[in-house]
Amino acid sequence: MALNFADLFEHATDVFGDRVAVISGDRSVTYAELEERTNRLAHHLAALGVGPGDHVGLYAHNSVPAMETLLATCKLRAAMVNINYRYAEKELAYMFGDADLAALVHDREYGPLAAAAGLPAGLRGTVVIEDGSGAALSGGAVEYEAALAGASPERDFGPRSNDDVYIIYTGGTTGYPKGVMWRNEDIWRTLGGGTDYVTGELLPDEWTPSRKGLENPGLVKLVTVPLIHGYAQMGSLAGLFAGDTMILMPRFTAAEAWEAVERHKANLLMIVGDAMGRPLMDELRQHSYDTSSLFALASTGALFSPAVKDACAAALPNVFITESVGSTETGFAGLGMVSAGAEHRGGPTVKAGPDILVIDDDNRPVGPGQTGRLARGGFVPLGYYKDPDKTARIMVEVDGRRYVTPGDFARVEEDGTFTLLGRGNTCVNSGGQKVFPEEVEGALKSHPEVFDALVIGLPDERYGESVAALVEPRPGTVPDLDAVAVHLRSQIAGFKIPRSMWLVDQIARNPVGKPGYGWAREHVAANPPTWRAGDRAGTAATD
């Protein structure tokens, strides 16, 4: 059975040739056109010497060529490496060195920065996606459409394997990104549609996605998330395997997202938590859009706070809203339904996916009411690229089976669901109490004058660490931080309330909403707090 992404895509193109496959900006391609163009790119890369096991960097915004690059690497049994287009020169140099790129595909505007960072010594070629920027091309670079024009459109590649490696680099929010390696079959089962997320049942064969796609005209799915995120990659691939139309936003703005929903009659809106959910809801309150085609909204990958969930449920009462949890290392871990006014337990509460456990420090499953590390068994990654030590640290044995535990903490609920509390390495240990930043951030964002927030721990002589928050006000407001602290008292326990807060113009986040912890610590170190418990009336609010 061919459980390889290239084979799954080719099955779909053979069935849905005339359907529109990808829309991005003003461009669209059918499945037949996407197949031909992808074959051409694959042949061009193969002529450069790219083959099985090689890595091709994608350093670009969402576009039709970006999607073609992902598919072309799969056809060659190579792996696409997602490179964050917001990286500075130092971060980019790290990625180029760590990923061992054989080829690089990038938007033209990023050529000068790529050259300044130092292209990898083993790079065999560069393909440049035209973006109208007019940036200079490096020596030997080939323009994307010219590369396709000079290559064969034929599907004449050799057989692939379920063991072919797929790589997703983590966001690097708490350190440098690491490449998580998956077998094609395993990641298809956990993230690419090879398992029914609601029932947990495995799809029986490689033909099931395209066969099911024949039963309906295909969904129209709007991907607001950049392809540098695993959610966008896997969601787009799963949709293409089933004959759906994927709308890839080149750059996210709330207004353009709603315009795309209206123009293309989108059925599913894919977002990453508050980073996209909050501006989308603000835009919908201020302007009128036709959302009648929309019947589902799916969020994952970052904090989806109670305040924003409630706003989504109120603005889209007839839309099925879900929140899924997981990570690059575990894949899909659980799914929850969002409804207005639902009880908040400190994080997203979801029904566990297949082979998901919560385990204690001795690697034993915990019971209801207990907290432990989230662990995934069954279909698990091979490990981190070039980092066997870190791989060994996240792999554990539970009852004789291999599980991956990337460091997320969760609490098992009485009804068998679990509540995701947060990543252990961002947890604040204050006076022996664990404070997970996501819960505090969600409480802060429930205040009407707080648009965004980021919580970190600071050294404290008395408590070991104290909770600190950076607060981005809503436009046109200057929050009274005494009042914010009093508001928090009704939302979370006193020991979780920040003892210092900084008002900032904007919270630094990466393109998919991941928090900029490094930026936060630099800002706190360089600036006195706007508010500190004990300076004013805030003392009583944080006792």
Give residue-wise pLDDT tens across range 437-461: 999 999 999 999 999 999 999 999 8
Give the range among 13-17, 81-85, 103-107, 424-428 with minimum mean pLDDT.
424-428
Q: How many other C-beta atoms are found inside a 10 Å radius of the C-beta of residue 416?
A: 9
Q: How confident is the model at residue 174 (pLDDT cuts 50, 70, 90)?
A: low
Q: What is the mean pLDDT of the chain?
A: 94
The answer to whether residue 521 scores a pLDDT higher than 50 is yes
Q: How large is the average pLDDT for residues 517-533?
A: 95
pLDDT of residue 536: 53
pLDDT of residue 424: 82
pLDDT of residue 540: 35
Name the 3-class secondary structure at 426: helix
Taking only the tens place, the pLDDT of each residue in 262-315 is 999 999 999 999 999 999 999 999 999 999 999 999 999 888 999 999 999 999
pLDDT of residue 542: 42
Q: Is the separation of the CB atoms in 134 and 107 below 8 Å?
A: no
pLDDT of residue 234: 97
pLDDT of residue 176: 84
Q: How confident is the model at residue 537 (pLDDT cuts 50, 70, 90)?
A: very low
Closest CA to 11 of 237, 183, 195, 231: 237
Q: How many other C-beta atoms are found inside a 10 Å radius of the C-beta of residue 107?
A: 24
pLDDT of residue 268: 98
The answer to whether residue 499 scores a pLDDT higher than 60 is yes
For 262-309, give the secondary structure using H, E and C.
HHHCCCEEEECHHHHHHHHHHHHHHCCCCCCCCCEEEECCCCCCHHHH
pLDDT of residue 309: 96
Taking only the tens place, the pLDDT of each residue in 388-416 is 999 999 999 999 999 999 999 999 999 99
The answer to whether residue 139 scores a pLDDT higher than 90 is no
The answer to whether residue 538 scores a pLDDT higher than 70 is no
Q: How large is the average pLDDT for residues 458-483?
A: 95
Closest CA to 24 of 216, 247, 189: 247
Q: How large is the average pLDDT for residues 339-346?
A: 85
Q: How large is the average pLDDT for residues 486-514?
A: 93
Q: How confident is the model at residue 228 (pLDDT cuts 50, 70, 90)?
A: very high
Give the range among 101-105, 117-121, 235-239 with minimum mean pLDDT.
117-121
Closest CA to 127 of 194, 59, 31: 59
pLDDT of residue 24: 98
From CA 60, how far away is CA 109, in angstroms rounded?
A: 9
Q: C-alpha angle with apex 133: 127 to 137, nearest 5 degrees?
A: 40
Give the range among 49-63, 139-153, 164-178 with minimum mean pLDDT.
164-178
The answer to whether residue 343 scores a pLDDT higher than 70 is yes
With tokens 């379920």, the residue in question is 162
Cα atoms in the 13 Å half-sphere on the side-chain side of 458: 21
pLDDT of residue 213: 94
Percent of residues, the chain, with pLDDT higher than 70 = 98
The answer to whether residue 506 scores a pLDDT higher than 90 is yes
From CA 408, how far away is CA 130, in angstroms rounded?
A: 40
pLDDT of residue 28: 98
Q: How large is the average pLDDT for residues 188-205?
A: 93
Taking only the tens place, the pLDDT of each residue in 367-390 is 999 999 999 999 999 999 999 999
pTM for this entry: 0.91
From CA 417, how far away is CA 351, in angstroms rounded?
A: 5
Q: Is the separation of the CB atoms in 61 and 36 below 8 Å?
A: no
The answer to whether residue 18 scores a pLDDT higher than 50 is yes
pLDDT of residue 237: 98
Give the chain's domains with CATH numbers.
427-542 (3.30.300.30)
Give me the phi and psi of 452, to 5 degrees please.
-150, 160
